[in-house]
Structure 1
Amino acid sequence: MSDVVLYESNGPIATITLNRPDKLNALNTEVVLELDKRFAEAGADDSIKVILLAAKGRAFSAGFDMNDEIEDGTETPLDWLPVLRRDCDLTMRVWSCPKPTIAVVQGYCLAGACEIAMACDLIVAADDAKFGEPEIQYGSGPVTLLMPFILGQKKTNELLFTGDKINAEEALSLGLINKIVPLEDLETAARELALRIAPTPLPILQLTKQALNRAYEAKGLRTAVNANIDISALINGANTPEQQAFDKVAAEKGLKAALAWRDERYKATTA
């Protein structure tokens, strides 16, 4: 059994834990498939009322693992479509999970991982948490595009055009997260919140979640998500000179060097 995602149940609470701390819990293919399996398992278990999504190490997750795409040679829109559909399906599996879900976030929560956290019903964050969707700086874009429904138009526009990150305090003020706690109290605070929810009968929790999700879906959330996948494939497969340069540096010197090259480009625009 894979150990990149851990699963534990304790009474009415299931905890699903990302376990690639040496890679900042980057979401590679194995992690995506295991997360999907574990959420399906917890969702189907009638002894479970609340699901915690946590992570080992100093970061919740840096997002989808770019090494996957570099190694697989994913380039054209047609190459990207099945990859993006798979990634989007995972986020919407979390969104559609029939039990209340709580993301437990420390450190970086970026890109596709930020979308998965937003797909959870609640987010408890450590005071060192940082959120963002920096995909535009890679010549990419958000796969699931939940942020407009969480933050509203103007702040979403700012974050997605710039790729900037926000700290826990700003995330709280924007309504992205529910509470901030000291890092050492994160696990306890998340479990306490889950225990506040757990006494409610499971059918009532399930129907309440269904009603809340339908309210967002009546605003067009699923239509927007489905429409975005095709555009994301076009963005990722645009093959701009900047994307080509990034891929060349990554192929010749490694992903870390490519990220440094990218960061230097964006520093130059703000100097």
Structure 2
Amino acid sequence: MSDVVLYEIDGPVATITLNRPDKLNALNTETVFELDKRVAQAAEDDNVKVVLIAANGRSFSAGFDINDEIEDGTETPLEWLPVLRRDSAVTMRIWSLPKPTIAVVQGYCLAGACEIAMACDMVVAADNAQFGEPEIQYGSGPVTLLMPFILGQKKTNELLFTGDKIGAEEALRLGLVNKVVPLEGLETAARELARRIAPTPLPILQLTKQALNRAYEAKGLRTAVNANIDISAIINGANTPEQQEFDKVAAEKGLKAALAWRDERYGAVKA
């Protein structure tokens, strides 16, 4: 069995754990598949009332695995569309999971991983957590457009146009997270929150979640998410000179060199 996503039951609490710490829990195809399977498992288990989504290692996740995309040779919008639909479907399965979910975040929580955290009902963050969707700096776009509904228009515009990251305290101020705690107390704080929720009967939790989700979806959340997938496929397949150069550097010198090339371009602007 794959061990890239772990699953553990502790009484009424299920914990789904990303387990590629040596890769900053980057979301490759196998991880996405296993995460989807574990979320479905938690949804179907009537003994589970609360679901934690956590990660081993120093970061929650750096986002979708760029190496996967380079190796697959995904280029055109038509090639990107099924990939993005798959990735967004996993995030929206978490959004729709009929039980309260809590993201347990340390270190980097970027791109698709930030979307996973936003899809959870609550987020408990370590004080070293960093959130953001830097996809624009890769010539890409967000897969699951949840941020406007979480942060509002102006801050979302700023973060998605710049690709900047924000720290845990700013994320708390903006309403992206519920609680910030010292790194060493992260798991304890998340489990304490889960234990406060768990005494409520499961049907009541399920109906409450349904009501909350319907409120957001009445504002157009799901329509916006679905519409964005088509645009993201066009963005990813735009094949701009910068995208071509990033892929060329990655192919010739490796992903680390390509990221350094990207950071140099944006570093000059930020300086």
Category of TM-score, reference length = shorter chain: over 0.9
Aligned to 2:90: 90
SS in 1 for 2:190: helix
CA-CA distance at 1:269 after TM superposition: 1.5
Aligned to 1:194: 194
Aligned to 1:258: 258
- 1:2-151 equivalence runs, <5 A: 2-151=2-151
Q: Specify the code of the residue in structure 2 equivalent to 1:104.
A: V
Q: Specify the code of the residue in structure 2 equivalent to 1:177.
A: V
Measured against aligned partners, the alpha-carbon deviations of 1:9-29 in whole angstroms (never above 9, x if no partner) come to: 010000000000000000000
SS in 2 for 1:2: coil
CA-CA distance at 1:268 after TM superposition: 1.3
Aligned to 1:233: 233
Aligned to 2:157: 157
Distance in structure 1 (CA, Å) of the matches to 2:117 and 2:28: 16
Distance in structure 2 (CA, Å) of the matches to 1:108 and 1:37: 24
Q: Which runs of 5+ in 2 are unaligned?
A: none
SS in 1 for 2:25: coil
Distance in structure 2 (CA, Å) of the matches to 1:53 and 1:88: 17
Distance in structure 2 (CA, Å) of the matches to 1:262 and 1:89: 29
SS in 1 for 2:258: helix
Distance in structure 1 (CA, Å) of the matches to 2:23 and 2:267: 24
Q: Specify the code of the residue in structure 1 equivalent to 2:112.
A: G
Distance in structure 2 (CA, Å) of the matches to 1:256 and 1:234: 26
Q: Specify the code of the residue in structure 2 equivalent to 1:78.
A: L
SS in 1 for 2:212: helix
Distance in structure 2 (CA, Å) of the matches to 1:239 and 1:150: 30
SS in 1 for 2:60: coil
TM-score of the two chains, using structure 2 as the length reference:
1.00
Q: Specify the code of the residue in structure 2 equivalent to 1:114.
A: C
- 1:161-200 equivalence runs, <5 A: 161-200=161-200
TM-score of the two chains, using structure 1 as the length reference:
1.00
SS in 1 for 2:15: strand
Measured against aligned partners, the alpha-carbon deviations of 1:141-171 in whole angstroms (never above 9, x if no partner) come to: 0011100000000000000000000000000
Distance in structure 1 (CA, Å) of the matches to 2:73 and 2:13: 40
CA-CA distance at 1:87 after TM superposition: 0.3
Distance in structure 1 (CA, Å) of the matches to 2:270 and 2:192: 42
Distance in structure 2 (CA, Å) of the matches to 1:116 and 1:15: 15
Q: Specify the code of the residue in structure 1 equivalent to 2:3.
A: D
Q: Specify the code of the residue in structure 2 equivalent to 1:93.
A: R
Distance in structure 2 (CA, Å) of the matches to 1:10 and 1:179: 22
Q: CA RMSD in A?
A: 0.4
Q: Which runs of 5+ in 1 are unaligned?
A: none
List structure 1 segments (4+ residues) > 2 angstroms apart after TM superposition.
none
CA-CA distance at 1:270 after TM superposition: 2.4
Identity across matched positions, percent: 86
CA-CA distance at 1:122 after TM superposition: 0.2
SS in 1 for 2:2: coil
SS in 2 for 1:88: helix
